[in-house]
Amino acid sequence: MTATIALSRPEEDIALLTLDMPEKGANVLSSHVLTELEKHLDTLEAESERALAGLIICSGKPGTFIAGADLREFVASLDVDRQEIVDLCRRGRTLFQRLAALPAVTIAAIDGICVGGGAELAIWCDRRILSDSPRTQFGFPEVKLGLFPGWGGTVRTPRIVGLYNAVELITSGDSIGATASVEMGLATEAVAVDDLYDAAIRLIRAEDQSKQYLKDRIHWSEPIVMSETETGFLGVTASGFIQQKTRGHYPAPLAALEVLLEGSGSDIDAAGELESEQMANLFGSPVNRSLLNVFFLTDRNKKDSGLAADDVPATKINSVGVIGSGIMGQGIAAANVKRELPVVITDTCEDALRCGVQGILDEVSYNRELKGPDAKRAVHFASLLTAATHDVDLAKCDLVIEAVVERADVKKDVFARLEDQLADDAILATNTSTIPISELGADLAHPDRFLGIHFFNPVRKMPLVEIIRGKETSDRAIATAVAYAKHIKKSPIVVQDGPGFLVNRLLLPYMSEAVELLLEGATPKAIDRAATSFGMPMGPIHLYDVVGLDVAAHAGGIMLEAFPDRAIASPLVSDLVAAGRLGQKSGCGFYSYNNKKRKPEVDQELLPFVAARRKEERDITEEEITDRLLLPMLLEATRVLDDGIVEDVQNVDLGLIFGIGFPPFRGGLLFWADTLGAKTILEKLKPYEALGVRYKPTDRLLDMARTDGTFYDNR
């Protein structure tokens, strides 16, 4: 196997270990790499103390130090017994611990991404120097995979930066930049990339003289001194914050907190053994498996061109036009401006355009550190934004995205008016959420350059973009749209044309069933509670109000026309729309929002509307509510696969996680279904067969039950 780590001698008494995985974009710590490191440390330990003043560890890949452990090896080890997990953790920890025992100062010279196992390797070095590049990030994201640092990260980190900082860093899973790392005491200094090596040499000379690193080694091997009161206060406050954030669905942050608190009172060896033992409780758990699946879905999406052939050239998008300055138009424009893409935004109403421009600038100028607008950011980004009321101003844009009202006739008028004014190679797109692309592009002279680019609301938060192919859409247009979406840091999924495309086609059965449950006796709060207990970010009744009941009714009508055998258009929703109860935007819908915080509150005025359409009155369990919400969505997902709307099950799962917030700790809708098994799903469907076709098992599901197959077997 090709070597990954090169040992060199830039100076007579200084060793340099350079990690550079051949033919890989990033370094990862595989078992092979750990074995290489072990051999190099054997060599260095054999030298006399006077022969070696220092060791520098760096990466041969600009912008990346080490991107963590090799997760594919993790997956291969998910089913091993507990003791093997303990031994694997112990091996990594004791190997890295040797960096803190070499007869010389050890320094991690970090440029770019340093996370997970890479951060643990670095934390066992005596010192860390980071480049001041914006790409440099240091962190422990393991909790986002259902784990915590298992190679000594929970042992060494709190002893260097303090228990409070370590708790925040490790239980959040968030990375920090170079400046924050220095302020926390995690890094000695942040320097220019070009000065990273020289800074490491200077630090070795200084430490060789002062011997401070030897004093720190002794100090960092001892228990952390804190009073019981202080430790108890940290435990209670951190636990409360974690519970509030995770809602009890993610066990790893709490487990990490317990290991950090308990291990802080022990020496490093005892703390390390505790870490290894407790890691074995999480490794291979259902949540760990689910989150690993989400990681691989995301990683695959980053590399996916959206086409069967990867040799289709994408046209570079240098400027973007957005038609419509409403909420979606503002969000789309802001997403482009943030990535330094010039935007022309148009609207026929000058007042709406003025408000839209202000909304865009408010968003792009927001500074997290200031918790408000940043004047410098506003000035910078304002130069990238042009407001116009005439179509001619869009003529030079490489890509034009329509984001007007969700009506086919209005959209077609916009396209007919605009097409002749665009350049011959410009892409024309629609942000429609439900209307078939081929229908909208039927009258265009160049339907090959027309497609759907469907963003989700709110654009700033939702990573998913559906790239929708019409019957005439060219491969070049698809390749261009996929590359463009990735450029603005979105996760694109290519979807074939059809009513509702992928996400809304699966979301509407979930929402429609919620109204049916309401008419059978369940309360709005009970329905929403069942959904959020399952892990959804908000319940379907609340979601109606957020989306707007008028918008949901319109989408429901399109789905009813397309799938009359199983789609439901509830008269209750129509009644509420007719009464002006449109949701949050009107102050009331299923809930009332007439309070200072505009939070959903039970509204007694809803009761007569429900009573007028009531089907029956009975007690409905949370289990039934959960099944009724999810099973129609799952069955529709099997139909989506059979219809070829998406390439495979992975796109279904990623689409729902990134598009509607399907709980990542479930791994995705179809991954979750596989954990139940097809036979169990069929048993769950039986009590609801009388409700009609929407609960009828599909042939795909029946075949899976007969063969003990899974969705992911057939991907």
Q: Residue 631's domain is classified under what CATH number? A: 1.10.1040.50
Give CA separation, 552 vs 198, 392, 645, in Å: 61, 34, 22
Residue ending a domain, among 483, 498, 513, is: 498
The per-residue pLDDT for 305 is 87
Catalytic residue IDs: 454
Residues 34, 98 share a domain: yes
* Residue 295 within any structural domain of the chain: no
* Residue 348 within any structural domain of the chain: yes
* Residue 203 within any structural domain of the chain: yes
pLDDT digits (tens, 9 = 90+) for 353-405: 999 999 999 999 887 766 777 788 888 899 999 999 888 889 999 999 999 99
Over the chain (715 residues), what is each successive 10-residue block's mean pLDDT?
A: 90 95 91 95 81 94 93 88 94 96 96 97 98 95 96 97 96 96 96 96 96 96 92 93 93 97 94 96 95 95 87 92 94 95 93 92 82 82 91 92 92 92 93 92 94 94 96 95 96 95 95 96 97 96 95 91 91 96 95 89 95 92 97 97 94 96 97 97 96 95 96 79
Residues 338, 246 share a domain: no
The per-residue pLDDT for 370 is 67
Residue ending a domain, among 459, 480, 498, is: 498
Short-list 629, 460, 637, 531, CA closest to 249: 531
Residues 350, 205 share a domain: no
Please report the DSSP string for 641-674 in residue order. Answer: HHTTSSSSHHHHHHHHHHHH---GGGT-HHHHHH
The per-residue pLDDT for 714 is 65
* Residue 38 within any structural domain of the chain: yes
Residues 122, 248 share a domain: yes
The per-residue pLDDT for 44 is 92
Which stretch of DSSP H or E encloses residue 5?
A: strand 5-11
* Residue 143 within any structural domain of the chain: yes
Written in H, E and C, the secondary structure of 187-253 is: CCEEECHHHHHHHHHHHHHHHHHHCHHHHHHHHHCCCCCCCHHHHHHHHHHHHHHHHHHHCCCCCHH
Residues 519, 486 share a domain: no
Short-list 481, 495, 500, CA closest to 435: 500
Share of the chain above pLDDT 90, in %: 85
Domain count, the chain: 3
Residues 138, 52 share a domain: yes
Give me the domain span that covers residue 514.
Answer: 504-644+677-714
Residues 705, 689 share a domain: yes
Q: Residue 483's domain is classified under what CATH number? A: 3.40.50.720
**Cα–Cα distance for residue pair 263/700, rounded to 1 Å:** 50
Residues 217, 343 share a domain: no
Q: What number of other Cβ atoms are within 10 A of residue 1's Cβ? A: 9
What is the reported pTM? 0.92
Q: Residue 103's domain is classified under what CATH number? A: 3.90.226.10
DSSP H helices, 365-407, are 375-382
* Residue 659 within any structural domain of the chain: no
Residue ending a domain, among 498, 533, 566, is: 498
Residues 224, 107 share a domain: yes
Short-list 281, 263, 403, 287, CA closest to 346: 403
pLDDT digits (tens, 9 = 90+) for 43-89: 998 876 668 999 999 999 999 999 999 988 888 888 899 999 999 99
**Cα–Cα distance for residue pair 446/439, rounded to 1 Å:** 14
Residues 571, 448 share a domain: no
* Residue 373 within any structural domain of the chain: yes
* Residue 290 within any structural domain of the chain: no
**Cα–Cα distance for residue pair 682/406, rounded to 1 Å:** 37
The per-residue pLDDT for 49 is 60
Residues 379, 270 share a domain: no
Residues 201, 96 share a domain: yes
The per-residue pLDDT for 221 is 95
